[in-house]
Amino acid sequence: MADTRLGHTKERFIVGIYDHEDKVVNAVKKLKNDGVKIYEVYSPHPIHHIDTYIGHPRTRIPIAAFLFGALGTLSAITLIIYTMGIDWPMIIGGKNFVAIPTMVPVTFELTVLISALGMVATFLVSNNMGPGKKEFMFDRRTTDDKYALVVDLDANTLGEEQIRDLMVKYGAETDPLPRIVER
């Protein structure tokens, strides 16, 4: 149940710790089968496809990369055509004012640059990350060698004890038992 002390609504989670990626994947799949909604899995390295097992929607980062890349291409073409063809047209080496072959290198570089920077900015914004951002770690060992399976108690119909038993049944560490964390 949400705690409303001091006027803040606190979320309550139960955190199970696993010592192997196979165990945590197994637990995710079996808990899902048992009707438990999983909040998130924290791991020291990426585990392929676990986001889809949890039920996270597919990321749209590639779309952002494409859109920023298109922006880069357009800005380069606009810049070159405006500067070389409109604002101060000069005949250099007998080339046309708008000479497409000589536009290729700069257009390519700006496409890559803006796509890369835009995509990484999108990544940081979408994950609420940035220099000096404060992290909320359910267990600090998850950046070392442990895997934390986190279940939001308010989003589930099963009780705390039942979820804890299921987590242990599917391989969570028992010393200590899966614990409650408030945020």
Site for other proteins in 32-51 (CB under 8 A): 33, 40-51
- The number of beta carbons lying within 10 Å of the beta carbon of residue 161 is 9
Q: Looking up tokens 């705390």, which residue turns up?
A: 160
Looking at the Cβ atoms of 59 and 159, the one nearer to other proteins is: 59
11: amino acid identity, one letter: E
Select from 67, 74, 113, 158 the one that contacts other proteins (CB under 8 A): 113
CA torsion 159-160-163-168 (nearest 10°) is: -150
Q: Which residues of 48-85 are buried (b: 16+ CB within 10 A; e: fewer)?
A: eebbebbeeeeeeeeebbebbbeebbeebbeebeeebe
* Residue ranges in 45-84 that form contacts with other proteins under rule CB under 8 A: 45-51, 53-54, 56, 59, 61-62, 65, 69, 79-80, 83-84
Q: Which among 3-11, 27-35, 154-162, 174-182 is the span making contact with other proteins, rule CB under 8 A?
A: 27-35
**Per rule CB under 8 A, is residue 23 in the interface with other proteins?**
yes
* Residue ranges in 119-158 that form contacts with other proteins under rule CB under 8 A: 119-120, 123-124, 126-137, 140-145
